[in-house]
Copies of this chain bind each other. A is one copy, B any other.
Amino acid sequence: MQKGSVGIIGVGLIGGSIGLQALRSGRQVFLFEPFARNKVTNARFPGAQIVSTLADLVVASHLIFVATPVSAIPGVARELVNHVAPGHVVSDVASVKRPVAEILAEALLGRCQYVPTHPMAGSEQSGADAARADLFDDAVAFICPEFASEPGAVDLVTLFWEDLGARAVRSTVTEHDQLVAAMSHLPHVVAALLVNQVARSGGSRLAGPGYRDTTRIASGSPALWSEILVANSDLVLEQLTGFKDLLEEFLSLLSAKDVKKLQAFLDEAKRNRDI
């Protein structure tokens, strides 16, 4: 492995965007895509070295990102075990951290360094074709240091994300999962519910920009998102239940035509949104 080299397992929206921006900043980049149906080409990633086995990727890379869908991570973990060495720093980018980190930590601890991360960036699109070098500009990247025995490994991963343009924020995997259940997973579910309710009421053909913005993320990959939501289901259920309580409160204010209290509710929302 060469210092500063980065290997990416899973070249979708996130993995691909990491690759593009790492190439831009002059790093050696190795790409391995475990799913044959996803084509990764040098036309799309000029200068990257596209390898055909996970073993080839590991031997060449210093910092290794697991960027596959959540459901592929157990398989990747089992294979990583056979190839990693003490000098390696492994990270992952899954949107849910505790369940994923438990799998990877069990496989990797004692063999190499492991530092889970999660960039709060994305798009309603998915796949390598949607990857963009600027995807992480100013995005928050969570760094979870709790599994690393060498502080240098955490620093390496932190600096890497900052190099990509992100703002690194440290948290535990549990704190992370609580925060994203509210800030990311809940909005995703709500957008999907909204789209389906509007569709049942005659569709959105004539809708304005408010509807379009509010529901953009409902175009995200159903396969990826159903896995994420189930992986974080306890915390997402908590959020959805809190949301439902507020919905019931709002329903009763609207049934009573209580303009004053409705306005107070919307005022609170505006204040919270305008922060």
Contact = CB atoms under 8 A, between A and B. Distances in A.
Contact of A120 (B206, B247, B269): B206
A223 B240 CA distance: 27
A93 B211 CA distance: 19
**Copies of this chain assembled into the complex:** 2
Given A196-B265, A202-B178, A206-B120, A270 B187 contact: no
Chain A contact surface mostly: helix
Given A196-B272, A219-B274, A230-B259, A214 B213 contact: yes
A169 interface: yes
B182 A242 contact: no
B242 A189 contact: no
Interface size class of A (residues with CB under 8 A): 35 or more
A229 interface: yes
Interface in A190-229: 190-211, 213-223, 225-227, 229
> Which 3 A-B pairs rank lowest in CB-CB distance, beginning with the nearest?
A222-B266, A192-B269, A182-B201
